[in-house]
Amino acid sequence: MALMTGEQYIESIRRLNMQVYLFGKKIDSPVDDPILRPSLNSVRMTYDLAQLPEYQDLMTARSGLTGERVNRFTHIHQSTEDLVKKVKMQRLLGQQTAACFQRCVGMDAFNAVYSTTYETDGKYGTHYHENFKKFATYVQEHDLTVDGAMTDPKGDRSKAPHAQADPDLFLHVAERRPDGIVVRGAKAHQTGALNSHEIIVMPTISMGPEDKDYAVSFAVPADAEGIYMIIGRQSCDTRKLEGGELDVGNSEFGGVEALVIFDNVFVPNERIFLNGETEFAGMLVERFAGYHRQSYGGCKVGVGDVLIGAAAVAADYNGCAKASHIKDKLIEMTHLNETLYCCGIACSAEGHPTASGNYIIDLLLANVCKQNVTRFPYEIVRLAEDIAGGLMVTAPSEADFRDPRLGPVIDKYLRAVPGVRTEDRLRILRLIENLCLGTAAVGYRTESMHGAGSPQAQRIMIARQGNLEMKKALAKKLAHIQA
C-alpha cells in the first residue's frame, strides 16, 4: 500500500470504533468534535508533508524490513543519519503545527521494542522479535499511526507494582491463556492515543521477579474490545466551542492526551513482545526514554521557532522592536532554542548500532538534551510573555470585538502601530497565549517538564551514564596520583 494522504488518514480514523469520553459524555464522532479535531489535524500534517517531494528525504525512509519507502514515523533507524533526520523532521513539524503532532511516542516505542525483543529472544529463546517485525511490517505497509503507551498511574510511588493496594494501578497480565493473555490496568497521559490506529504498551519502570505479571509489552488496535479513553482537560479548551477562531490562538492545530483504560483486553500470542521477563523491562524503559528524550530536541525546538517569531511580531506591532532590551531578549530566546537543537543533533550523531542492528542515540547526551528541555522552554516562555505585554491575557473576547457597539471602541483603544490592524495585533497575542498558557502549552511548556520522564529521571540516567570513575582516573593521572 502507498503512503496515505492526510485525507485518507482522517477517513481511516473515522472508521475506527473507539470509545472516547469527554466532559462526562461519550463522543460518538471524535473526528468531528471541535475540541478534538485540531489534534487530528496535527497528525494529518505528518501525512501531508510526506506527500511533498521537497520533504520526502526528511518525512520518509527506505524500510529495512520491506525495502519500500515508508513514513519515517514507522521506520526502524538504520544509521546515525536516520537519527539526525528524525530530529530535523520533528523540528519541521513543530514549525508547521506549533503543537504536538503525536507520532513520536510510537516511533520511539518501535525502535526500543525492536532492539529489546532481539536481546530477550537471545537469552530466553522466545519469538518476540519475530512477532514485532511482523507487526512493524504491517504498520509500515498500511502507513498506520501508533501510540506508544508507557506511563502507568503508579499509585503509591514508594511501592513496587506487585505491592500496590490495587493491582490495576500498573497495567498487568490478569490471565494467561493458550492463545494469548488478558491484560487489565491503565496508561496515563497518552499523547495521541485518540488519533492512533494501534497502541504499543510497554512497562513503565524497572522490575523485580515479584513483578512478573507487570513486565509486559504488546500491541493492540486502538478500538480493541475493552479499551476506552477519557480525554484530559486543557486550559482554554472550551474556547473551541465558541464558534470563532481569534480567541483560540492556534485554531487549526493542537494536541490531546487521554487516560486509556484496559478493561480485560485480550492480546493474541503473535502480538506479545514481552511477557514476564522482568530483567528486560528496565532495558525497554531506558531505551524508549532515551529515544523520546532525543525527540524533544526537535519537536520543542520547532514550536520554539514559532513562539520566537510570534514574540518578534508582537514587538513589531507594539512599536518596540528597535529597543535594545527587546533585541537582547529575542537573541536569548534564539540561543536557548538552538542549544536544545544542538543537543538533539549531538545525541543522534553520536548514536551507535544495537545488537539487533538498529541504531540508538547516545543515552547520556539524550538525557542532557531532555534535562535542558525541562528548563529552557520555561525561560523562552517567560521572555515571550515579557515582550508580548499584559494585553496577552487581558484582551477582550472575540465576541466583544465583533460586537457592533463594542468593536469600534476596542479597535480604537487597542490599536498601536499605524498600519497594523488591531485584529492582527490581537491574533498574534492570542497565539502567544496559546503557546505559553493555553492548549498548546500542554505540548510545549508543561510537557517540557514531565514528558519523557521527570527531570529527576534524567538526572539519574546522567549519573549512571556519566562515567565518573573514568573522569576521576583522568584527574589522578594528570596529578600524578597512584591509583
The tally of CA atoms less than 13 A away on the side-chain side of residue 480 is 0
Report whether 348 contacts 80 (CB < 8 A).
yes
Q: Which helix (H) or strand (E) holds 69?
A: strand 69-71
Selected catalytic residue, list 9, 197, 292, 436: 292
Residues 6+ apart with CB under 8 A from 17: 223
Selected catalytic residue, list 296, 317, 341, 444: 296
Is 104 a catalytic site residue?
A: yes
| Beta pairing, strands 146-149 & 198-201 | parallel
Is 162 a catalytic site residue?
A: no
Q: Which helix (H) or strand (E) holds 407?
A: helix 406-413
Is 257 a catalytic site residue?
A: yes
Selected catalytic residue, list 46, 47, 100, 116: 100
Selected catalytic residue, list 97, 126, 191, 439: 191
Selected catalytic residue, list 9, 77, 104, 354: 104
Q: Apex CA 188: angle with CA 183 and CA 192, to 5°?
A: 100
Is 292 a catalytic site residue?
A: yes
Lateral strand order in the sheet of 25-26: 25-26, 20-22, 227-231, 258-268, 180-187, 172-177
User: For residue 159, what is its C-alpha cell?
Assistant: 511501592
Is 75 a catalytic site residue?
A: no
Is 100 a catalytic site residue?
A: yes
User: For residue 198, what is its C-alpha cell?
Assistant: 494501534
Closest C-alpha to 449, from 375, 340, 344, 365: 375
Q: Apex CA 308: angle with CA 306 and CA 313, to 5°?
A: 90
Q: What is the CA radius of gyration of the chain?
A: 23
Report whether 204 contacts 150 (CB < 8 A).
yes
Selected catalytic residue, list 46, 120, 145, 257: 257
Selected catalytic residue, list 9, 299, 347, 369: 299
Selected catalytic residue, list 277, 286, 433, 447: 447
Report whether 336 contacts 427 (CB < 8 A).
no
Report whether 49 contacts 3 (CB < 8 A).
no
Active site positions, annotated: 100, 104, 191, 257, 292, 296, 299, 447
